Homo-oligomer: A and B are copies of this chain.
Amino acid sequence: MSLASLVRKLEQFVRLSPVDHVILNRASTERVRHFGPRVDIVREGEKPKDVHLILSGWACRYKQLEDGRRQVVSFFLPGDICDVNVFILREMDHSIGTITAVSIADLSREFFDKVAAGHPRIVTAFWWETLVNAAIQREWTMSLGQRTALERMAHLLCEIWLRLRLAGLTQGDSCDFPLTQGDLADATGLSKVHVNRTLQELRADGLIVLKGKTLAVPKLDRLMRAALFNPNYLHMDHEGRQLDAVPVSPDAVAG
């Protein structure tokens, strides 16, 4: 129920003015909606009306084939924006569903028009968000096409970890992790059974501690190596602002 993650993330990239803060703050307090866990926010085929900003909770974007096969194509964490400017399209080509209980703010076309007209830094920040999301989608393509089950799993966990940390949602080496093995299967294109095997292997190698709904990553650099993880695609730095500008543990980024 907070704007903090979005602002923290965007300010990683662009310095926003006090007026920009007011604009974002207003946008994220008007028109707030709440959803339970495992519920659809948006359905494929609908006309897109608003852009959604995740204030709290986890959600995912997914697609389904006629015969029921389901692929999660991205995860939404607090501070994520679903699709800047989607409303120019006639209909949604995918669905968005919640994982946990979720609060969202609906951002209208008018909001974007106003931003475009008078708030160039927010425009830049939103372009950054858009470009990073595109890069993440490409990296998923890479993972699904080339990485083995183990690498793929490790990669996904690294990515989520770094994104959570950027949003200020990690505590030490652990974080909240509400995804089930079924969710992980739908996201990695593996079967649930093989997801289980793969997690066991990561545990046995001491790369993760995953229990209940909590994930710990004791040695991020080792997990990254197992994943062939190159953080460049997250574009977490800009014009001298390095990732390390955020207080993080020293082993945070390998390389």
Oligomeric state, in number of copies? Answer: 2
| Cβ of A188 under 8 Å from chain B | yes
Proximity string of chain A (124-146) to chain B, C-beta cutoff 8 Å, 1 when within and 0 when not: 10011011011101111110111
Residue of B71, B91, B134 near A232 (CB, 8 A) is B91
Proximity string of chain A (93-133) to chain B, C-beta cutoff 8 Å, 1 when within and 0 when not: 11000000000000000000000100000001001101101
> Chain B contacts of A196 at CB under 8 A?
none
Bound Cα distance A88, B124 (Å): 8
With known contacts A141-B144, A144-B145, A90–B238 Cβ distance under 8 A: yes
Bound Cα distance A134, B127 (Å): 13
Band of interface residues on A: 35 or more
| Cβ of A246 under 8 Å from chain B | no
Bound Cα distance A94, B188 (Å): 21
* Closest beta carbon of chain B to A87's beta carbon, Å: 10
* Closest beta carbon of chain B to A110's beta carbon, Å: 15
Contact B142 A88 (CB under 8 A): no
Residue of B70, B71, B93 near A135 (CB, 8 A) is B93
* Closest beta carbon of chain B to A14's beta carbon, Å: 9
Other than the given A45-B232, A70-B146, 14 more pairs (CB < 8 A) read: A44-B232, A63-B142, A66-B228, A74-B138, A83-B131, A85-B127, A88-B131, A90-B237, A90-B238, A94-B138, A130-B134, A144-B145, A145-B187, A145-B188
